[in-house]
Structure 1
Amino acid sequence: MNKTLLVIAISLFLSLYFFFHITDKDQFLYLCDGFEDVETDFPHKEIDCNKGWLGSSPKSGILLEKKFTFDEFHPQANYAMLLPFYSGGIEVFLNGTRIGYPSDFSSLENRKSIYSFPNVKPIPQGVLAEQNTIRMKLGYPRLNGSFRPIAIGHFQTIHQKWLLWFTRFSSQIAICMFIAAYFCIYFLIRKEEVYLIYFSLISLIVALWGGGYSSLLYYLPIPISLLEMITFSGATVIPMLMLCFFRSFNKQKFNVIDTVAFGIYFLFFAASFLEILLIGSIRNYYTYLFVPFIQCNFLFIIYMTFLCYRLTKKHRQYGGLQLIGFLFILVFYIESAFVFLGYLPWSPLILESFVAFVILFSVILAIHFSETYTALEVTRKGLDDLNHNLEEEVVIRTKQIHDQKEILDRELRIGRTIQSSLLPKITHSDLNKSIAFDYVPCMEIGGDFLDIYYDPSQKKLGIFMCDVSGHGIPAALLASMTKIALHNWVDYIDSPKDMMNNIVQHLKGNLHGNFITAAISTIYLDSGRMITANAGHPETILIRKSGVLERIRPKGSAISDLLKKEFHVAESQLKKGDKVVVYTDGITEAKFDHYSMFGDEEFPKFLQQNKSLGSEKLVQAVFKKLSELPEQSIRIRDDKTLLVFDFSF
């Protein structure tokens, strides 16, 4: 790709060269070199040639003279002269006749308005001949090769030359101004891309410098000192901005050579700017520093070309295109040097080289943004595809989860049915109205469990309740294992303590880090004697008929593989009308925000206040109270189990 672009660049250069040089052949006479410095004044006694120039002596400017032959001279033809631009002012005499000089030439500004930009001036009849002498006075001492040519030819041909010149430079300036405005706006959108403002400033200053270089700006009604500042000081800023743009665009840091080059160009800028600002002239800078500035430019372009060449060797992005951009300037710089030395016809393409640089680098930035946009589009498309695939996957997984949830819910419902079947069935008429319970798991199945043993022949009643740590299926399985451990309860009905130890032995090694709290009581219905053992479970509450509460919780730790198992018993004497209440901590720990519906103190008081209710009514009252808590706001969710036995024997 870089080879193709190099061929295109060379073709463009040759096209520009032949367009601006070959098309001029035999159309008119260029007077560019061969002028000799003369010390005498011009032979035109009617006009004081020193009047109005900088300084008071003839040495303030320079006098030039050249003899030439005009082979295509026809006495009856209309001829014209294209006067060149010269910022210090210029007076032109052809065969002793002043050409295009105004009647009022008393001030430098008047001369500036006529002579500081190209003018097409008709040559009076009888002035031009085959053998001619042209003399000029320049406001500043000229530099070798710095004087622009005078064109002499038929009036129509000269006028066309002027139009071509105007179109050539104005179009280039317009292109640079457009590019500068475009990338300035783009920088306002993407401020993190600092190189955009550098490139915008390069384009702007190339346009302004081109206007001064081509003398188009000198058509504007602004002071000549400001125009010289734009032209000469602006030219010193371009290399500094190029260096900043190059390093910023390629994400590189300044090195020592960059810093030195930046400092040198800053000195050139300061010298030209301060001279124009202080004395309104560029004379000293133009005389002593302009040639070193041109030489530094040549070295700088070689250095930048070398940096771009290194980029291509490292296969850095756009390295080849950047190399072509600086090669444009380098080649045209060399071409301009040959023009100034007289080896090539006049019309150097140095401005075209900078315009080509601006256009090429704007193309590079356009390619960069296009590739970035393409990469973003590819990324966006990839994300869209990924999102689409993700949505499809979510739909599939959601359906799978829904199906699995339905299976799980069905299995949990079956589990709850099985777990409910394990709850005691009160069928004996002696207990039907005396005992009531309710069990509400926080999930479909839970870890609370209760069982009742009744021997009608011996009038013995056993009550067992446990609470397995955790919730759900694991807790329910351990509760079922506890149910199995109660299979020989009849053997231990007279010793709740031994029954508790028997449960421990059955569960030993199967708890896997869980623990179980339990309470077991044996009640002799004929005598009212009650024996209770407790394994870390909430106390058994005895509500006397008189309303007095007794809390029964003999010493004993929760059933666990890690805790020491030692259980004690407590004996109580029931009287007719007393109530025995056994519950799990899910009853007392239900809370809404910071408010507990019951708690360890409120629950016994609630029981005491409702002591007149029967066992079934009391159980219903407790769960009705709990239902007043918003279910979604309960901070501690747990299984809830409650049993009430009304001793009425």
Structure 2
Amino acid sequence: MGMVTVPGNDLWIRFSDHHLYKYKNPALFIEIALESPTVYQNDKKVYSFRERDYVFPHIIPLSGQPGGYIYVHCKSSYKGYVGLDGKVRLEEYSHSWIQLLRDNVARTFLSPVLIVLSLLFLGLFFLKWEERIYLYFSVLLLSSAIIEIMNGFIAFSLLNYSRITIPLTYINFAIYPVLLLLFLKQVYPAFFKNLFEIMIFIHILVYIYCLMVSWNSGISFLNAEWSYNWWVISEGIIAILSSIYILIRGDSKLRLVTYGLLAVVITGSHDTLVDMGIFPWKERIIHQGFWVMILFFGFFVFRYYWNILSSIDNFNKELQKKNKDLERLFAIDKDMALAKELQRSLLSDHIKEDENINLVAFTQSLHSIGGDYFDHDCDSLGNWGILLCDVAGHGISSAVVAAMSKMAFTGAKAYIQYPTRVFNFMNRHLSGKTKGLFITASYLFIDTESGKLIYSNAGHPGFFILRNNSPALLEHRAKGKPLGVFAESDYKEESTQLLPGDKIFLYTDGVLDLNNDKNELFNEERLKRLLWENRDLSIQNLKTTVQGNLSDFCKSWKHQEDDVSFIIIEYKNS
């Protein structure tokens, strides 16, 4: 590129014009001329350009009459080389335009393609804000378009706007690597994202530094570029090594991006080394690199977008499936609510009182409906039969078996005074019909006139009697096999005497199996202590106290693992 700059000296280039007679309207074509070139034909100034940083084509009309020499004067304030570069020729003025367009056809038509693609991907970003890859790719395409626009044919057409195009060109050259790194940061693995962030930070600092130290009668973008070319080459080397690493790893998703990156980095580094005078071959190939990069990057981003569309389509299909599942769940929930109301209608009253007894009951199902079931009835003489059942498991199946127990007990009410007959009747009707779900139960018959309590047990926990003048809780247990397991099971009766004011506490094993946040069981000893400490309360207050303690223990039923039920009966014998 001409001569090495000598401070304080300008460069003059002279060549003969004796070939001008061949042309009707001759012109001097200079592809690149640095440092405010001025052209003289003999002693007459025919062309002058004041901008020293302009490096794009000049087409200079000349006189058709040869007279000696053509002189080109270039000022010498550029750090690198000064003079003419690229193609320099004499030719027809009209032919220069055509030849310039022909030589730059690739970059000329690449520019609008880049702009259209940039707008397209910017639109994709607006449709999906969280996908920043579209934004960075859009800006990268726009930056590539500016590089192409400010070269060759289009650049010559914008000659009159050089004061705008020159700083725009070199600022764009400075930020292009940043935009490229931002795009790659979105697609490369985490390690490279951190590396690219550091490179972006250093690039900005280096560019600002080079711009400031190149201050010479105003900012020279060419001098700044000359100063930071070493960093651009360093960035190129790092990018090439990163790309080689990605290719060695065989990451198929990044192969297209890596090929595109290698194309633009290698061609860009080549042209930078040409500008620095390291490579002797003067042909610039960055534009071909842009084409290759755009093809690979564009295909990658389009495929990326297509995968998103496919995932959205799959998501919509999955969403439709989930909506149908949700509709089924709503239907099930509606049925569960109805089942809960039906089960509630099967249960006897939670509060019952007459002149002989007071009764309160509590039940807390693990699910909407459960397998705990209680019932009570009195005969024509005012005697009471009280049943508490616990179906194994919980949920719908247990609730169905509990409803079967209700029907079986209704059929056994003719034997209300005989607990063993009640259980024998229920067991015969339930055996073979519960599909493996057994029922534990406790049945009490209270002769209200004599105060005699007759009871029978079918694999159920015992019960407690709280007596005012007793030094401790009275425990009563009886043996018996669960209902619904063996058709010919035998059940035994036992009895005890009630005193006025006695309180009977019946419960299911869900009470004892409650957990707290320390994975401790409520257990029988804790229940006995609770009952004994509150033995003087009325049965309604006792029920509230027991219920509150159970809820507090398992953090508002958070650690409940089974249905919980209990019944408190007070014998009055009024």
Bucket of the pairwise TM-score, normalised by the shorter protein: 0.5 to 0.7
TM-aligned CA deviation for residue 364 of structure 1: 1.2
1:63 is aligned to: 12
Compared CA separation, residues 36 and 253, structure 1 to 2 (3 A)? closer
- Please give the secondary structure, in 2, of the residue aligned with 1:483: coil
5+ long unaligned stretches in structure 2? 349-354, 356-360, 364-372, 391-401, 423-445, 479-493, 501-537, 541-564, 570-574
Q: How does 1:190-589 map to 2 (within 5 A)?
A: 190-214=128-152, 216=155, 219=158, 224=163, 227-254=165-192, 258=196, 261-262=199-200, 264-274=202-212, 279-282=217-220, 286=223, 290-291=225-226, 293-333=228-268, 336=271, 348-354=284-290, 356-382=292-318, 384=320, 390=325, 447-452=375-380, 463-469=382-388, 473=403, 474=405, 477=409, 480=413, 482-485=416-419, 496-497=450-451, 499-500=452-453, 503-504=454-455, 507=456, 509-510=457-458, 512-513=460-461, 561=477, 567-568=497-498
Q: How does 1:156-167 map to 2 (within 5 A)?
A: 156-164=94-102
TM-aligned CA deviation for residue 316 of structure 1: 1.7
Aligned residues of 2:32 and 2:84 also touching (Cα < 8 A): no
- Please give the secondary structure, in 2, of the residue aligned with 1:99: strand
- Please give the secondary structure, in 2, of the residue aligned with 1:98: strand
1:89 is aligned to: 36
**1:208 and 1:99 mapped to 2: Cα distance?**
31
- CA displacement 1:529-575 (0-9 Å, x = unmatched): xxxxxx889xxxxxxxxxxxxxxx9999999539x9863556xxxxx
TM-aligned CA deviation for residue 91 of structure 1: 0.8
**1:272 and 1:193 mapped to 2: Cα distance?**
34
Compared CA separation, residues 227 and 269, structure 1 to 2 (3 A)? farther
TM-aligned CA deviation for residue 450 of structure 1: 0.8
- Please give the secondary structure, in 2, of the residue aligned with 1:452: coil
1:79 is aligned to: 26
1:127 is aligned to: 66
Aligned residues of 1:83 and 1:115 also touching (Cα < 8 A): no
Identity of aligned residues (%): 12
TM-aligned CA deviation for residue 249 of structure 1: 1.7
- Please give the secondary structure, in 1, of the residue aligned with 2:136: helix
**2:409 and 2:125 mapped to 1: Cα distance?**
69
**1:496 and 1:139 mapped to 2: Cα distance?**
129
RMSD value, Cα: 5.9
Aligned residues of 1:232 and 1:272 also touching (Cα < 8 A): no
TM-aligned CA deviation for residue 449 of structure 1: 1.4
Aligned residues of 2:462 and 2:476 also touching (Cα < 8 A): yes
**2:447 and 2:167 mapped to 1: Cα distance?**
115
- CA displacement 1:472-501 (0-9 Å, x = unmatched): 65577498575324989xxx999824x42x
Compared CA separation, residues 276 and 60, structure 1 to 2 (3 A)? same
**2:260 and 2:34 mapped to 1: Cα distance?**
30
Question: Among 137, 154, 159, which residue is 2:74 paired with?
Answer: 137
**2:205 and 2:318 mapped to 1: Cα distance?**
53
Aligned residues of 1:81 and 1:151 also touching (Cα < 8 A): yes
**Matched letter for residue 363 of structure 1:** F
Aligned residues of 2:188 and 2:254 also touching (Cα < 8 A): no
**Matched letter for residue 62 of structure 2:** I
**Matched letter for residue 497 of structure 2:** F
TM-aligned CA deviation for residue 282 of structure 1: 0.7
Aligned residues of 1:36 and 1:65 also touching (Cα < 8 A): no
TM-aligned CA deviation for residue 178 of structure 1: 3.4
**2:150 and 2:232 mapped to 1: Cα distance?**
18
TM-aligned CA deviation for residue 295 of structure 1: 4.2
- Please give the secondary structure, in 2, of the residue aligned with 1:159: helix
Normalising by structure 2, report the TM-score. 0.57
**Matched letter for residue 242 of structure 2:** L
1:524 is aligned to: none
**Matched letter for residue 484 of structure 1:** Y
1:630 is aligned to: none
TM-aligned CA deviation for residue 515 of structure 1: 5.2
**Matched letter for residue 293 of structure 2:** F
1:99 is aligned to: 46
TM-aligned CA deviation for residue 90 of structure 1: 1.0
Give the greater-gyration-radius structure (CA). Answer: 1
**2:53 and 2:328 mapped to 1: Cα distance?**
80
- Please give the secondary structure, in 1, of the residue aligned with 2:59: strand
5+ long unaligned stretches in structure 1? 1-32, 40-57, 102-109, 417-434, 436-440, 454-462, 517-534, 538-552, 571-599, 603-636, 642-649
Aligned residues of 1:38 and 1:65 also touching (Cα < 8 A): no
Normalising by structure 1, report the TM-score. 0.52
**1:493 and 1:314 mapped to 2: Cα distance?**
87
**1:36 and 1:487 mapped to 2: Cα distance?**
122
**Matched letter for residue 14 of structure 2:** E
